[in-house]
Amino acid sequence: MPFDNQVVLITGATGSFGNEIVRQILAGYKPAKIIVFSRDELKQYEMSQRVSSPDVRYFLGDVRDKDRLYRAFQGVDIVIHAAAQKQVPAAEYNPFEAIQTNILGAKNIIDAAIDRNVKKVIALSSDKAANPINLYGATKLCADKLFIAGNAYASRDKTRFCVVRYGNVIGSRGSVVQLFKEKAKLGTIPITDERMTRFWITLPQAAEFVTDKLKIMKGGEIFIPKLPSMKITDLAKVIAPECKTHAIGIRPGEKLHEIMFSEDDAHSTVDVGNFYVIRPAWLKEKIKYFDHEKPVGDRFAYSSETNDNWLTADKMKDLLVKLKLL
């Protein structure tokens, strides 16, 4: 069991993902301790009112502060790195701030984890890191590269690093679901482009994917779940069927369709059933890494537009009702 008798530290743990994975760890495992590491004291206080387990500790700090990370990582076995500045428009307008958190913060995590003998570090990425066109995606791609290289940087030390990359999280703070629900009150839903598609994953699914990959990671992998796509216009119809839609145009740094990995990564990517793995570059192709793995093919790209798995309006409605978002 990945968390039993382990000290687990989660950066950015007061966010949507952090709250969910803390809930899942407490419900399904027996950790020695969970450390909630974040910089917002109000969110930590609010979370402590909901999560009162004696196994949870709250640690104020910022991933930009290496000294604070060194203190926090003392005695830690597993780090789940979820802290990031992830709002695309904010990153475009405040580029240095995004770089400080998403790139230099990643470097600090790597250094502190190796020097404090953390066993495993799993970092959360984004579909926007594949062929990025905005600063947020570029910083996440850079962070991905840093974490993968961290395995070589650690050399013979025991610290291993991997990355998980997934799409839009349904119902997370600031998600388009929340935006559409707010705009529905005004009678019109703004759509950037009627052709737009996105990958979708729920918070419980995202947390479970991280847990599952902690069990099998060897170091250097980018794990990518197979997810359904959905047209943004179908989502608007599900949330507010009585409302009109209004096309406002794609915003700066926004893609028409998202991609998890491109043809450029296909040569090192394998299909492992319900997920893909971009294998570490230092592995020779003839070495089998996972049971039942098979190459995806040199021309394959995993795009929300060409995906063969789609969420219909009815399926999305059922999902939103189940998640109590509708």
Number of neighbouring beta carbons within 10 Å of residue 11: 28
CB 25 within 8 A of CB 3: yes
120 catalytic, yes or no? no
Spot the catalytic one: 30, 33, 119, 128. Answer: 128
Number of neighbouring beta carbons within 10 Å of residue 166: 22
DSSP string, 88-152: HHHHHHSHHHHHIIIIIHHHHHHHHHHHTT-SEEEEE--GGGSS--SHHHHHHHHHHHHHHHHHH
Under DSSP, is residue 195 helix (H, G, I), strand (E, B) or coil?
coil
Instruction: Give the pair of three-digit tokens for residue 100.
Output: 């400080």
Instruction: Give the pair of three-digit tokens for residue 96.
Output: 């240095």
CB proximity list for 240: less than 8 A, separation 6 or greater:
180, 181, 183, 184, 189
Whose tokens are 């998600």? That residue is 175
CB 173 within 8 A of CB 278: no
**Which residue type does 181 have?**
K
φ/ψ bin of 207: left (φ > 0), alpha (ψ from -120 to 50), beta (otherwise):
alpha
Kind plus residue range of the DSSP H or E element containing 54: none
Kindly report the backbone phi and psi dihedral angles of residue 257, in degrees, each rounded to the nearest multiple of 5, phi listed first: -130, 150
User: Catalytic residue numbers?
Assistant: 128
